[in-house]
Every structure is written in structure tokens, then in C-alpha cells.
Amino acid sequence: MKALSYPALRRAVLEGATTFRAAVEEFLETIERRNPQLNALLEVYAEEAREAATQWDAAQRRGAPLPPLAGLVYVHKDNIAYANHRLSAASRILEGFVAPYSATAVERLQAAGAICIGRANCDEFAMGSSNENSAYGPVQHPFLEGYVPGGSSGGSAAAVAAGFCHLALGSDTGGSIRQPAAFCGLYGLKPTYGRISRYGLIAYASSFDQIGPIARTLEELILAYTHMAGFDPRDATSAQRPVEPYTPSPPPRRWGWLTAAGLSPLIEEALQNLYKTLSDAGYEVETIDFPYWDYLVPTYYILTTAEASSNLARYDGVRYGYRAQNAASLAELYARSRSEGFGREVKRRILLGTFVLSSGYYEAYYTKAQKVRRLLYNFTEDLFSRYDVLLIPTSATPPFRLQEKTTDPIQMYLSDLFTVYANLTGHPALQVPLSGTPLPVGVQILGPLFAENRLFAAAYALGDLGVCPTAFVGTGVA
């Protein structure tokens, strides 16, 4: 029997048909059976989850009011802090480190009654598009043997798709929520920059990173987003803007369609079907010739690696984390600790970032990339003066095989072509799975700043047209 979606589970518990503890036990049984092969979770909080579920069941029997997310089971990515639990960013350099506090996003889910059941594997320091860069081994696709689940939040996406939990927290620097969500047939949200606090998130590139949810149903995703979003005084980049709860609303009418080349035939066909369906339903869908595709990936990697070289300087073998043994000098301690503690991809990006920030190259690369970023933002703001939402492919290809791109970093970086756009401009983007394809395929809906509710309305409209599985919401299908 498949686990119930959270709304269906809550109804069943209130009706006395099941318990939260029974749901947790079902998730734990699935984890025990499948995680050894998938490697999606690095740690399982079995007893904690059982105890929390038992407490909510006791509250239900007493007739006490349940908080809004009581019994919702989730996992957190291994770069999001959960107090008194290990936190490694899937890197040897943080092996054994225990988080002294929780991320704001985790605090808010816990306060709403959610139950954390485990810590999800990821690409080291969230650097990767396939979840093959983890110091603890790659994550396998949950239902395509020998394929990647996407990255860097591949463990989070695989955990949801495999039935380990209702929901997963990921982080999105350049598509690390949306691309694995697409590869695993799920919903994934990269919120507006500043909408969900970054407090407690291990930084990769601070002006890009955002925490967001991955879920099987749109309703579960909206529930998590609503409770995590909002101002946090501990995060200087947090937006002081109220969060409006989502209520059913008319879908957007004007859809901009950003044309793109180089798509696989499967994705090209799925997107053409989507375009025709929207047009036939009476929506205004207009194709847009986007002139900046060639600039997105270079701009993104120049800026993010520059920020990463600065953010990761704190991992020096002195303050916390891995420390090389028997170093003869402080300089040797630094060099050996970082060389032995960081993986190959992290070192590659640190070196690239140090180069673009170095004297003689700062103006040629970093400053120019910042100008391109502003150009993209202005262009996008102009588009939203004419269109309610924009549609873009999430990925040019369906899931690819393990080790298919590991020997060619450029091809791996190009996997992020369509997702880095929203991170460069800061706009919200929602990955929506498309129905009726032999392999998982997704499309992104982009909206104006802080217009997440418009994205949700657009996704429900696609569900009403039968092109994405929002019809499953609230029916008990997991």
C-alpha cells in the first residue's frame, strides 16, 4: 500500500482510520528496504520520528488541537542545520560536525508539527548536477536503475520519490531543487531570493542560495512553503514582506514561452504538447526569442565560484571540521586539511573563483559578469510587464546515466542552462512535472518577485488541463 499524501493522512487520522505513528512506521520500513541501494539518506532519525508521531497521536486522542503540519514527515538536505544532529554538506571536511542550532526553515516546520525523519545525501557543498560528488557515494535514481536523480539535492528528491517521506528540504543555487525534482517527477520550488531565510544553510554562493521544498503533490509543497516563508531578523538578506496564504485564484492569462534550442526529442515533444494544450484552452501564449542563453552558464559560474572561494575559506582545519594530522607548519596544516578534506569538484570551483577574483582578472570576469546579471534582471522585469508568467524547460534532457558526464565538467555545467536563469535574477521558479511521458520531464514556471502564489495558480491550471498530476492532490495518492 502506498503511503497517503499528507492532507489525506491528516484526514484519515482525524477520522480515526489510522495514526501518525503508523505512517512513520511505513516510511521507516520503506527506508530500511530501499535506502541501502539508493543511498538517498545519510542518517535516519527513526526513534525521534516515532516519538514525535506518538506525541501527536496522543494529542489527537485527548482532543487537543493539532498544529497545521502535525505528522507531516520530511527530510532535510545535508547542508541545512538541524540542532544536535550531524551536518556535513556531504563533505569529508565536515565529517563528525554537529549543528549547534537549527536553520530557520527547520525551526518553522518543527514548530508547525512536522516530523524530521532523516538527513539527505547531496553533492558536496551543493556543487553538482547529478549527486555524484558526495563524499559518501552517489545517489541512485529511485526508479531508473543506473541513472542519476539530479543534483545537488538528489538525495532529497530521491527520498520523496521513493516514498521515504512526504516532503524534502533542498537548497537551490542554480537549479539544485528544480532539476532533481524534474528528474524524479516531482514538484520543486525555488522561492524569490530572500523569501525563505538562509539562516542555518551552509553557504555555497550567498547571493544565489535559497532553501525550498520538494514534494510529490502541489498541496504539500504549498503547505511547507507557507510555513517556512517570511522575514527572519537573523538573515540580513531576508525580505521584510508579509506572506499571503495561498487561496484558489484565477490562473494567469498571459504566458510567455521562452524558446530554446538543443532540447532532446522527448522534451521537445512534451513541451510542444503543453504549448498546444494551453493555446487550445484559450490562454494567451506568446513565444519569446530569448537572446541571452549563451551568457547564462558562464555568468553563473563566474559569480558563484567567486562567492564559493570566499565562503569556503573558513574551512581551514583550525576552527572546526577535518584537520590534517602531523602538519609541520600552519601553512602545511591549511594546505593539507583543505586538499584532503575537499573533493575534486569543490576544489575545482574554489580555484576558478579565486582566479576570477584575482588582481588583473577581477574587472575582466567578475565585474563583467555582475553587469550581465543586472542586464538579465532588467530584461526579465520588462518581460513581466507584458506577461503574467514565463515557461522554460527545466532541463534539456531527461535523467542521464551515472558517470555519463563526470569526465566532462563543461557538459555537467551545461545541465544547469535553463535553471540558473531564475537564480541570476532572483525571481521565483516552480518546477512542474509533466504527465504522459516515458521518462520524467518537467517545465519551469517563472513569476515576478514574491509572486509564488501566481505560480501555484498556474500549476493548478496545468493540472486542470491534465498536463501535470495536480489531479492527485488530496486524493490519498502518494
Q: Catalytic: 152?
A: yes
Does residue 133 contact residue 415 with C-beta atoms inside 8 Å? no
Whose CA is closest to 427, among 473, 402, 460, 392? 392
Indicate the DSSP class of residue 100.
S
Three-state SS for 191-242 is CCCCCECCCCECCCCCCCCEEEEEECCHHHHHHHHHHHECCCCCCCCCCCCC
Domain locations in the chain?
6-249+452-472
Give the C-alpha separation, 195 to 211, whole Å. 9
Q: Catalytic: 395?
A: no
6-249+452-472 CATH: 3.90.1300.10
Does residue 223 contact residue 112 with C-beta atoms inside 8 Å? no
Catalytic residue selected from 134, 176, 337, 395: 176
In sequence order, the 6+-apart residues with CB closer than 8 A to the CB of 73 are: 6, 23, 24, 27, 49, 114, 115, 116, 117, 165, 166, 167
**Radius of gyration for the alpha carbons in the chain, expressed in angstroms and rounded:** 21
Give the C-alpha separation, 425 to 448, whole Å. 10
Helical H segments across 4-63, by residue range: 6-14, 20-38, 46-62
Catalytic residue selected from 102, 152, 153, 156: 152
Q: 306: which 3 cell numbers?
A: 567567486
Residue 2: how many CB atoms within 10 A of its CB?
10
Catalytic residue selected from 5, 77, 129, 153: 77
Whose CA is closest to 53, among 8, 13, 3? 13
- Strand 254-258 and strand 389-393: the pairing is parallel
Return the bridge partners of 470, or none: none
Q: Catalytic: 2?
A: no
Q: 68: which 3 cell numbers?
A: 497545521
Instruction: Show pLDDT as tens, one digit a residue, over the chain (478 residues).
Output: 467 899 999 999 999 999 999 999 999 999 999 999 999 999 999 999 999 999 999 999 999 999 999 999 999 999 999 999 999 999 999 999 999 999 999 999 999 999 999 999 999 999 999 999 999 999 999 999 999 999 999 999 999 999 999 999 999 999 999 999 999 999 999 999 999 999 999 999 999 999 999 999 999 999 999 999 999 999 999 999 999 999 999 999 999 999 998 999 999 999 999 999 999 999 999 999 999 999 999 999 999 999 999 999 999 999 888 999 999 999 999 999 999 999 999 999 999 999 999 988 999 999 999 999 999 999 999 999 999 999 999 999 999 999 999 888 888 988 899 999 999 999 999 999 999 899 999 999 999 999 999 999 999 999 999 998 753 332 222 2
Give the C-alpha separation, 93 to 339, whole Å. 9
